[in-house]
Structure 1
Amino acid sequence: MKIKVINPNTTLEMTKGIEHAAKSTARPDTQILAVSPKMGPVSIESFYDEYLSIPGVIDEVKKGEQEGVDAFVIACWGDPGLQAAREVTDKPVIGIAEASVYLASMLAARFSVVTVLPRIKTMLEDLVDSYGMSKRILNIRCTPLGVLDFERDPEGGMEALRQEGKRAVEEDNAEAILLGCAGMAEFADSLEKELGVPVIDGVVAAVKFAESIVDLGKKTSKLKTYKYPEKKEYVGVLENFGQIQSTIK
């Protein structure tokens, strides 16, 4: 099978790290296609960033339809564009935050998230609430580091995650830790050994969910909510999205 892993930001170095994480867990017969959109922010750390990343995500999903992709992973812990992406394909589309919280709920009764800058805490609180997981999430702990800081200074990033992860276990009584950024994948195994609880990287979780759903032969329901968008004209910078929609079955 072929799984397209979309890093919604345009930092290719981060995409390479995401690709490594995805390939490290994928089966030998699974092809991983990791990409960044041709448009969008270099990192996603606000509502503004997130919303402006979505057209690029949708563009990559539509390309994937022509590339013979069997499933998609949106590799950002805000799951930007997840619902819209499900409207433009019948293939499974998995968000890494969604995959993380669902996997954690099977491994632990309560868990905390460790993520990036404090400004995104409310965004992530709203997100996990939309997945029905507010009662399971004990805390969303933020580090002082931005998304790209984990690329620039891995040692500093590891130390920040270690500190907040330890507080989550000792102060929150968290029974599992979720890493709230796709750029944190390389730290998961080391943190799990140090903290003594499951530490979940969303990219890995999403790839395994995608493989399982494809194996089961399931596709996105097109009955109502996720049916293909109605064809209509788009103008201005979104003109090409009208052309994309003209290809919808």
Structure 2
Amino acid sequence: MFASPASPSNTQTKILLINPNSSSSMTSTAMKALIGLENFSSNQVDQFTASSVAPSEITSFTTEVISAAACIHNLIPLLEQYDGFLVACFSEHPLVEMLREHTDKPVVGIMEASLVHATFLGHRFGILTTNKEWEPLLAKSIHHLALDHRCGGIKATNISPASLECVGQDINVPKPTEN
């Protein structure tokens, strides 16, 4: 996925997992999930967590922009060290385009990667998101990716992003409200 044409085939692909919020525990959770994937086991994956200036959770467009601004200056010096970059926020995070302005290496967000992958498999998809503010933002992002016809719907769970770290544990999920 992030193979660089300039990289010899006998070297590991170096990927930087970027958590644009300031929660190091969320970075660890994302890293564990990524390392567990078969396709990533032969790659070198390093992690980056935004500084404490960034929000601890990204819950809106405003917090996306604040987190992108908090990250970009720390990431630009790292661009030459990696073959590809994965922004670990399920949104059309502005940091993806900001990094693309500074490198010709692959930069992708987890939302774009997962939705495109679902369409490669020939499936429709639906999205469960954290709060109601995300529903229109994600719908707009799906439209930008020209995937409207593949989306079965977007529903908020009213679970905070920090609570998502409890994946695999018993948590009470509020019933999504009807439109």
What TM-score, normalized by structure 1, do the two folds share? 0.60
4+ long deviations beyond 6 Å: none
Q: Is 1:82–2:96 an aligned residue pair?
A: yes
Map 1:10-21 onto structure 2 (within 5 A).
10-21=22-33
Matches of 2:103 and 2:59 in 1, distance apart?
Answer: 27
Q: Which residue of 2 aligns with 1:99?
A: 113
Aligned partner (choices 104, 120, 133) of residue 134 of structure 2: 120
Question: Given residue 88 of structure 1, which amino acid in structure 2 is its aligned partner?
Answer: H
Q: Which residue of 2 aligns with 1:23?
A: 35
Q: Which residue of 1 aligns with 2:76?
A: 62
Matches of 1:156 and 1:54 in 2, distance apart?
Answer: 32
Aligned partner (choices 146, 166, 175) of residue 132 of structure 1: 146
The answer on whether the counterparts of 1:113 and 1:141 sit within 8 Å (CA) in structure 2 is: yes
Pair 60,154 (structure 1): closer, same or farther in 2 beyond 3 Å = farther
Q: Which residue of 2 aligns with 1:32?
A: 45
The answer on whether the counterparts of 1:75 and 1:95 sit within 8 Å (CA) in structure 2 is: yes
Question: Given residue 104 of structure 1, which amino acid in structure 2 is its aligned partner?
Answer: A
Pair 94,138 (structure 1): closer, same or farther in 2 beyond 3 Å = same
Deviation track 1:49-94 (CA, whole Å, cap 9, x = no partner) reads: 111111233234313225x111000100113121121011121101
Deviation track 1:77-135 (CA, whole Å, cap 9, x = no partner) reads: 11312112101112110111111110111223422111111121111111111111111
Structure with the bigger RCO (C-alpha within 8 Å, sep 6+) is 1
Q: Which residue of 2 aligns with 1:49?
A: 63
- Structure 1 gaps of 5+ residues are 165-249
Aligned partner (choices 107, 110, 129) of residue 124 of structure 2: 110
- Structure 2 gaps of 5+ residues are 1-12
Query: Among the aligned pairs, what percent are the same residue?
Result: 27
Offset of residue 140 of structure 1? 0.4
Question: Given residue 21 of structure 2, which amino acid in structure 1 is its aligned partner?
Answer: N
The answer on whether the counterparts of 2:100 and 2:107 sit within 8 Å (CA) in structure 1 is: yes
Pair 29,60 (structure 1): closer, same or farther in 2 beyond 3 Å = farther
The answer on whether the counterparts of 2:132 and 2:156 sit within 8 Å (CA) in structure 1 is: yes
Report the 3-state secondary structure (helix = DSSP H, G, I; strand = E; otherwise coil) of the residue aligned with 1:128: helix
Aligned pairs, how many?
161
Report the 3-state secondary structure (helix = DSSP H, G, I; strand = E; otherwise coil) of the residue aligned with 2:104: coil
What TM-score, normalized by structure 2, do the two folds share? 0.81
